[in-house]
C-alpha cells in the first residue's frame, strides 16, 4: 500500500469512527446513498448577464426507497432561501439544507421521518456567477457579458441543488427568465416565450430533455450571434431532420460557417456506424469566449472554446484540423457518454476513450488529408509516456474524492483507453467490433453502462468469451505499459522446408532508474509484420504468458515489425540481428510503423540501453520524410539530449547537426505557406521552424522572423499593430522571437495589443509570446500579469506553460511561485489547480531539485485538488531524468561530437 493510500484509508477510518461514536451518519463524500433517487428536475432560473448573481427555483421529484428523515445531495456556494418538501399525498412543509463538506455534500433535513414514497423538493436560492469557469459563470468581452455553463465533472452543484453524480439520469424541464434584449438557449429547442408586463424581461420555456445526468445540463445567455447551419437531413437511420446552429460572441457569426458545413457528415458517419439515430432534438455548437476545457459534450448543446469554432482565411492550418477533430470528438460523445452514460467516475474512460477512438475513425474516413491515423498514434505515444511512470494510474482507477475525479480526465483515460480499444478492435476484426458496439448502445440507450457491460458484450459477440474478457481487464485494471521482446527463429523442418517461429516475452516498460517490486503480466494481442525482401505478411497472437513461442504461417522470415500497423498498445524490443534487419527495411514500412520504429529507439534510449549517438545517427533517415510525424519523430529525444546532456562545448555540434538535417527541409518547404500546400506540408513546416528558431535558435531565421513580427507590431515606423501581416501558421513563433530578440519594445507592443484584441486564437499566441521573454525584469512583470483580470481564467495555462518552457525563466518562476502560490491556485478552476505543480517541475533533472520541490509542496499539497498524484508524477519525472543523465554521462556525447564537429 502506498503512503498516500494509507493516509486516505486512515482519514476515512477516522471519519467512520467519529460517526459511530456520536451516532451520526458519516458524510458521503464519495457516492451518495442509494435510498434516495431523483426522478426529474424542473429548473427555473432568472439570469441577467450584467448582474453579479442569478436566482432560481429547482423542483426535484425524488423517490425515497425507505423511511427517512433526511437525504443527501449536493450544493456548493449557493444561498438557499427556502426548502419545501411535498409528500406524495400533497402535504407540504419546510425542510432545511445544510452543507456538510467543502466539496458540496449537503444534507436536507425533513424535520420528521417520511415514509418510503415519491416526494418533491423545491429550493429557492441565489448564487454568484462562478469566477473560475465552473457551474454557471460569466465572461466579459469589452462591454458585453456572456453567461454559459460547465457542469462536468461535479460543478452542477454550483448551479443548482442536485444529485450531482453521473448515474442519476433524469429528464430536465428548463425555463429561463432573461432581459428582453438577450439571447437565451439551452439543451433543447425553445417551445414558448412570454414577455413581462413591463417588457423588461422574457421567460423562455424549452422542451423537456431526454434523461440526462446533471453534468450534461447546459445553457447560455447573452448577446450571442446565432447562425443557422445546414439542416442535418433525415437518412436511413433517422426519420426526422435535425436543426443545426452555430452560436458565438457578438460579431463572430461569419467565422462559424466552416465548422457548421463540416458537421452534417460527421453526424451521419456516427449514425451509420452505430445504427442509432442522433439522440436529441437539435445540435448547437457554442463558442464560449472563455472556457476551462477544450470543449464539453452537453446533450444537443456542445460548448467549445470559441477559438475552436472561429475559422476564417486568417486562421492557421492547425485551427482547421483542431476544429474538425475536437468537433468529431464531442459529436461522438452524443452517443458515447450522452446516449449511454457511465454510472460512476471510475468508468469515465468509457465516455472519453470511446469518443477519442471514434474521433480517430471519423477523421481517417472524412478528412484523410489530416493524417488522422498518425494523429491518434501521437496520442497513443503521449499516453505511453505517462504510463511509463511507476506512479501511473489504472484506466479504471477507484474514485474516492474530488481529487480522484479531476485526475481521471487525463491521457490514461483518453489516449490509453482509445489505444486499448483500437488494439482489441484490430484483434477481433472491425466488422465484429462494430456489431458489438451496436449491440451495447442499443441495450443501454438513454441509460447507463459500465465496463463489465461492455466487456461482456464484446466477448459474447466476438465469440472469444472469457479469453477476451481477461485480456481487456489486464489493460483496464492495472497500470503500466507492456514491453514485448521479439526474436525470430528459423529451424530445419522435414525435407527442404524450414519452420519459422517467433519468440515473445513480456515485462513492464519503465525508464532507467525505476525499479518495480511487482511483475505485472498482460494478455497482449500482438500483431506482427513479417518480411522476406520487400514482401510482407501479418499475423496475430495472444501473448498471455511471460514467455511464449509461436509458429509462423509463412515459414521463416528475414525481418519483423512486432507492432503491425502500430495498432498495439505496447512497446517492443528486438534482438540485435532483428533490429538491424528491421532498420534496413524501415523506409519501406507503413508511415505508422515508421513512427513506432522511431519510438522504439527513443524508448531504448530512455531505458539506458542505447546511447545518444544511436539516437542522433537514426535521425537523418527519418528527417528526409515528407510526413511530419516521421520527419520529427526523434526531435523530442534530440531536445532532451541537447538540454540535459550537452555542455557549452558540445551543444554547438548538436545545433549544427539539427541545422544540417532540417535547414534544407525548410529551404525546400519555404518559410511561408504556398497556395498548393497540403495540411501535412504546413504541419511539417511549422515543426521545422519551431525546432530551428526556438530550440536551435538559428540566428538568420530568427532575424527574419523578428523582422516580420516587428512590422506586424508596428515597431518599424508603421505605429499600428496589424497581425494580418504575419503568416498565421508561424505567427506565434514569430511573436515569441520578437519578444525575446527585440526586448521591451516588442513586449510592450504585445501587452498593449492584448488590451483590445478579441480574436481568441491570437490572444493565446500573444500571451505565449509575452511569457517567453528572456529578460529578467519583464519575466517578473509577466508572472504578476497572469494574476490580473487582463488574463482570462482559461488563458492562464497559455501564459505560464510558455513561461516555464524557456530555461531562462524557471529559476525566477520558482522564486516567484512561493509567495504567490495561493493566489495562482485560487485563480485556477478545480480541474487544473494541480497544473501549478507541473509548472514548478519544468526542466528539473536532479535528485536535489526534486527534493527541493518535495519539501516545499509537502505541507501545502492537500490544499491542491488532485495535487498528491500530480506531485508524485512530477517528482518521478524529475528523478528519472536525473538518473538517466547520470547513467549516460557526457562521454558518449563528447565522443560523437568529435566525429561530428560544428562547422
DSSP states along 330-355 = HHHHTTBTTTEE-SSGGGHHHHHHHH
What gap in Å lies between CA 810 and CA 799, rounded to an integer? 13
The cell for 814 is 520558482
Q: Are strands 105-114 and 68-74 parallel, antiparallel or unpaired?
A: antiparallel
What gap in Å lies between CA 377 and CA 423, rounded to an integer? 12
Q: Where are the alpha helices (DSSP H) in 74-227?
A: 156-159
CA 638 from centre of chain: 25
What gap in Å lies between CA 378 and CA 682, rounded to an integer? 17
The cell for 577 is 540481428
Give the alpha-carbon dihedral of 763, 834, 841, 396, to 10 degrees: -110
Q: Phi, psi (5° rounding) for residue 261?
A: -65, -30
The cell for 487 is 526474436
The cell for 368 is 484523410
Q: Report whether 118 contacts 87 (CB < 8 A).
A: no
What gap in Å lies between CA 181 and CA 199, rounded to an integer? 10
Q: Report whether 523 contacts 474 (CB < 8 A).
A: yes
What gap in Å lies between CA 137 and CA 363, rounded to an integer? 33
Find the largest Cα–Cα distance for the chain: 100
Q: Report whether 799 contacts 769 (CB < 8 A).
A: no
CA 265 from centre of chain: 24
**Quick one: pLDDT at residue 495?**
53
Q: Which residues of 676-700 are buried (b: 16+ CB within 10 A; e: fewer)?
A: ebebbbbbbbbbbbbbbbbbbebee
Residues sharing a CB contact under 8 Å with residue 296, sequence separation 6 or more, in sequence order:
150, 151, 152, 218, 302, 303, 304, 330
Half-sphere CA count of 5, side-chain side, radius 13 A: 7
Residues sharing a CB contact under 8 Å with residue 266, sequence separation 6 or more, in sequence order:
327, 328, 331, 362, 366
Q: Are strands 36-46 and 172-179 parallel, antiparallel or unpaired?
A: parallel
Nearest residue to 127 (alpha-carbon basis) of 184, 45, 213, 204: 45
CB atoms closer than 10 angstroms to residue 888: 19
DSSP structural state of residue 693: I
| 3-class DSSP assignment, residue 328 | helix
Strand partners, 221: 147, 184
Q: Report whether 572 contacts 485 (CB < 8 A).
A: yes
∠ CA 174-178-184 to the nearest 5 degrees? 60
Half-sphere CA count of 13, side-chain side, radius 13 A: 6
Burial class (CB in 10 A: 0-12, 13-18, 19+), 105: buried
Q: Phi, psi (5° rounding) for residue 669?
A: -80, -30
**Quick one: pLDDT at residue 287?**
98
Q: Phi, psi (5° rounding) for residue 681?
A: -65, -45
**Quick one: pLDDT at residue 748?**
98
CB atoms closer than 10 angstroms to residue 204: 20
CB atoms closer than 10 angstroms to residue 648: 6
What are the C-alpha distances in Å from 338 to residues 158, 275, 282, 296, 416? 21, 16, 14, 11, 21
Q: Report whether 726 contacts 712 (CB < 8 A).
A: yes
Matching residue, cell 528539473 = 844
Half-sphere CA count of 117, side-chain side, radius 13 A: 14
Strand partners, 42: 59, 173
Output the CA torsion sign for 798, 801, 806, 809: positive
What gap in Å lies between CA 587 and CA 622, rounded to an integer? 8
**Quick one: pLDDT at residue 12?**
41
Nearest residue to 730 (alpha-carbon basis) of 712, 705, 748: 705
The cell for 495 is 525435407
State the 10-residue block means of pLDDT for the chain, 903 residues long. 34 40 75 97 98 98 98 98 98 97 97 98 98 97 97 97 98 98 98 97 98 98 98 98 98 98 98 98 98 96 98 95 98 98 97 98 98 97 97 95 93 98 97 98 97 98 97 98 96 71 97 90 97 90 97 93 98 95 95 98 97 97 97 98 96 97 98 96 98 98 98 90 97 98 98 97 98 98 98 97 98 98 94 94 97 97 94 96 95 94 82
Strands in 92-99's sheet, in edge-to-edge order, are 68-74, 105-114, 92-99, 79-86, 118-128, 53-64, 36-46, 172-179, 201-206, 190-195
Using only C-alpha atoms, the chain has a radius of gyration, in whole angstroms, of 29
Residues sharing a CB contact under 8 Å with residue 21, sequence separation 6 or more, in sequence order:
none
DSSP structural state of residue 415: I
3-state helix, strand, coil in the chain (%, to 5): 45, 20, 30
Q: Give all strands (DSSP E) within 420-570, no chain letters.
A: 447-448, 482-492, 498-508, 524-532, 535-543, 547-551, 559-561
CB atoms closer than 10 angstroms to residue 823: 12
**Quick one: pLDDT at residue 719?**
80
Burial class (CB in 10 A: 0-12, 13-18, 19+), 263: buried
**Quick one: pLDDT at residue 492?**
67
Nearest residue to 389 (alpha-carbon basis) of 872, 887, 865: 872
Matching residue, cell 436529441 = 280
Residues sharing a CB contact under 8 Å with residue 877, sequence separation 6 or more, in sequence order:
389, 841
Q: Report whether 160 contacts 175 (CB < 8 A).
A: no
Residues in the chain: 903
Strand partners, 725: none
Instruction: Tell me whether the omega of the peptide bond preceding residue 153 falls within 30 degrees of 0, making it cis.
Output: yes
What gap in Å lies between CA 895 and CA 701, rounded to an integer? 29
Q: Give all strands (DSSP E) within 180-254, no chain letters.
A: 183-186, 190-195, 201-206, 219-222, 225-228, 244-248
| pTM as predicted | 0.95
**Quick one: pLDDT at residue 890?**
87
| 3-class DSSP assignment, residue 572 | strand
The cell for 797 is 495555462
What gap in Å lies between CA 798 and CA 779, rounded to an integer? 15
Q: At what angle do helices 731-741 and 679-690 cross, to 10 degrees?
A: 10
Determine the straight-line distance between the first and last CA of the chain, rounded to whole angstroms.
55
Nearest residue to 555 (alpha-carbon basis) of 648, 493, 633: 493
∠ CA 169-173-175 to the nearest 5 degrees? 140
Amino acid at each position: 500500500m502506498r503512503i498516500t493510500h494509507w493516509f486516505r484509508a486512515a482519514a476515512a477510518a477516522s471519519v467512520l469512527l467519529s460517526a459511530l461514536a456520536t451516532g451520526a451518519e458519516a458524510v458521503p463524500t464519495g457516492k451518495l446513498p442509494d435510498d434516495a433517487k431523483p426522478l426529474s428536475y424542473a429548473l427555473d432560473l432568472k439570469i441577467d448577464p450584467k448582474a453579479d448573481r442569478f436566482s432560481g427555483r429547482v423542483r426535484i421529484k425524488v423517490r425515497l426507497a425507505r423511511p427517512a428523515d433526511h437525504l443527501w445531495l449536493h450544493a456548493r456556494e449557493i444561498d438557499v432561501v427556502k426548502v419545501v418538501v411535498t409528500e406524495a399525498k400533497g402535504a407540504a412543509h419546510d425542510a432545511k439544507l445544510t452543507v456538510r463538506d467543502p466539496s458540496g455534500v449537503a444534507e436536507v433535513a425533513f424535520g420528521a421521518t417520511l415514509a418510503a414514497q415519491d416526494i418533491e423538493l423545491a429550493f429557492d436560492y441565489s448564487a454568484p456567477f462562478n469566477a473560475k469557469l465552473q457551474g454557471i459563470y460569466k465572461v466579459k468581452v469589452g462591454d458585453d457579458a456572456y453567461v454559459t455553463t460547465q457542469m462536468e465533472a461535479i460543478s452542477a452543484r454550483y448551479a443548482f441543488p442536485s444529485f450531482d453524480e453521473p448515474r442519476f439520469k433524469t429528464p430536465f424541464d428548463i425555463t429561463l427568465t432573461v432581459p428582453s434584449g438577450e439571447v437565451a438557449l439551452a439543451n433543447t429547442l425553445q417551445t414558448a416565450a412570454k414577455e413581462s408586463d413591463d417588457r423588461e424581461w422574457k421567460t423562455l420555456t424549452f422542451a423537456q430533455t431526454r434523461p440526462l445526468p446533471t453534468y450534461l445540463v447546459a445553457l447560455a445567455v447573452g448577446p450571442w450571434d446565432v447562425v443557422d447551419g445546414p439542416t442535418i437531413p433525415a437518412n436511413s437511420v433517422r426519420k426526422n431532420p435535425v436543426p443545426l446552429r452555430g452560436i458565438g460572441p457578438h460579431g463572430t457569426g461569419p467565422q462559424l460557417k466552416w465548422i457548421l458545413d463540416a458537421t452534417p457528415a460527421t453526424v451521419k458517419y456516427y449514425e451509420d456506424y452505430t445504427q442509432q439515430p442522433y439522440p436529441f432534438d437539435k445540435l448547437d455548437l457554442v463558442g464560449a469566449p472563455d472556457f476551462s476545457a477544450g470543449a464539453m459534450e452537453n446533450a444537443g448543446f456542445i460548448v467549445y472554446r470559441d477559438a475552436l469554432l472561429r475559422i476564417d482565411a486568417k486562421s492557421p492550418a492547425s485551427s482547421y484540423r483542431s476544429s474538425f477533430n475536437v468537433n468529431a470528438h464531442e459529436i461522438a460523445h452524443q452517443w458515447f457518454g450522452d446516449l449511454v452514460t457511465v454510472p460512476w467516475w471510475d468508468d469515465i474512460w468509457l465516455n472519453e476513450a470511446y469518443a477519442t477512438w471514434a474521433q480517430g475513425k471519423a477523421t481517417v474516413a472524412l478528412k484523410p488529408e489530416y493524417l488522422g491515423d498518425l494523429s491518434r498514434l501521437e496520442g497513443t505515444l503521449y499516453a505511453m509516456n505517462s504510463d511509463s511512470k511507476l506512479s501511473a494510474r489504472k484506466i479504471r482507477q477507484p474514485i474516492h474524492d474530488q481529487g480522484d475525479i479531476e485526475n481521471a480526465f487525463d491521457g490514461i483515460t483518453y489516449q490509453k483507453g482509445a489505444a486499448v480499444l483500437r488494439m482489441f478492435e484490430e484483434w477481433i476484426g472491425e466488422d465484429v467490433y462494430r456489431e458489438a458496439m451496436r449491440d451495447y448502445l442499443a441495450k443501454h440507450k438513454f441509460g447507463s453502462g459500465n465496463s463489465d457491460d461492455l466487456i461482456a458484450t464484446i466477448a459474447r459477440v466476438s465469440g472469444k468469451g472469457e479469453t477476451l474478457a481477461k485480456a481487456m481487464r489486464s489493460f483496464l485494471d492495472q497500470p503500466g505499459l507492456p514491453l514485448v521482446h521479439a526474436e525470430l527463429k528459423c529451424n530445419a523442418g522435414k525435407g527442404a522446408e524450414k519452420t519459422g517461429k517467433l519468440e515473445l516475452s513480456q515485462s513492464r516498460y519503465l525508464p532507467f532508474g525505476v525499479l518495480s517490486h511487482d511483475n505485472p503480466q498482460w494478455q497482449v494481442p500482438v500483431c506482427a509484420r513479417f518480411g522476406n525482401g520487400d514482401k510482407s505478411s501479418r499475423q496475430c497472437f495472444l501473448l498471455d504468458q511471460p514467455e511464449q513461442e509461436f509458429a509462423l504461417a509463412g515459414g521463416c522470415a528475414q525481418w519483423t515489425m512486432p507492432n503491425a500497423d502500430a495498432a498495439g498498445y505496447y512497446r517492443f524490443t528486438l534482438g540485435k540481428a532483428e533490429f538491424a534487419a528491421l532498420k534496413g527495411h524501415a523506409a519501406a514500412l507503413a508511415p505508422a510503423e515508421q513512427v513506432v520504429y522511431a519510438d522504439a529507439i527513443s524508448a531504448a534510449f530512455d531505458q539506458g540501453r542505447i546511447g545518444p549517438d544511436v539516437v542522433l545517427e537514426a535521425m537523418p533517415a527519418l528527417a528526409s520524410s515528407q510526413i511530419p510525424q516521421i520527419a520529427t519523430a526523434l526531435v523530442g529525444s534530440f531536445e532532451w539530449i541537447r538540454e540535459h546532456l550537452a555542455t557549452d562545448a558540445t551543444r554547438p555540434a548538436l545545433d549544427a547537426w539539427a541545422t544540417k538535417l532540417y535547414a534544407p527541409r525548410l529551404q525546400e518547404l519555404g518559410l511561408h505557406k504556398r497556395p498548393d500546400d497540403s495540411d501535412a506540408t504546413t504541419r511539417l513546416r511549422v515543426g521545422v521552424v519551431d525546432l530551428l528558431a526556438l530550440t536551435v535558435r538559428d540566428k538568420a531565421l530568427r532575424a527574419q522572423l523578428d523582422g516580420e513580427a516587428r512590422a506586424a507590431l508596428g515597431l518599424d515606423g508603421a505605429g499600428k499593430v496589424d497581425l494580418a501581416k504575419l503568416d498565421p501558421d508561424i505567427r506565434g513563433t514569430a511573436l515569441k522571437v520578437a519578444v525575446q530578440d527585440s526586448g521591451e519594445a516588442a513586449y510592450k507592443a504585445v501587452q498593449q495589443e492584448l488590451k483590445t484584441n478579441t480574436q481568441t486564437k491570437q490572444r493565446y499566441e500573444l500571451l505565449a509570446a509575452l511569457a517567453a521573454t528572456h529578460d529578467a525584469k519583464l519575466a517578473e512583470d509577466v508572472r504578476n500579469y497572469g494574476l490580473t483580470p487582463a488574463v482570462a481564467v482559461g488563458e492562464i495555462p497559455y501564459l505560464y506553460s510558455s513561461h516555464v518552457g524557456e530555461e531562462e525563466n524557471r529559476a525566477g518562476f520558482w522564486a516567484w511561485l512561493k509567495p504567490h502560490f495561493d493566489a495562482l491556485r485560487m485563480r485556477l478552476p478545480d480541474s487544473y489547480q494541480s497544473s501549478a505543480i507541473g509548472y514548478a517541475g519544468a526542466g528539473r533533472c536532479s535528485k536535489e531539485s526534486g527534493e527541493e520541490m518535495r519539501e516545499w509542496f509537502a505541507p501545502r499539497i492537500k490544499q491542491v485538488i488532485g495535487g498528491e498524484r500530480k506531485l508524485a508524477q512530477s517528482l518521478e519525472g524529475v528523478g528519472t531524468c536525473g538518473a538517466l543523465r547520470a547513467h549516460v554521462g557526457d562521454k558518449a556525447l563528447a565522443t560523437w561530437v568529435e566525429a561530428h564537429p560544428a562547422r
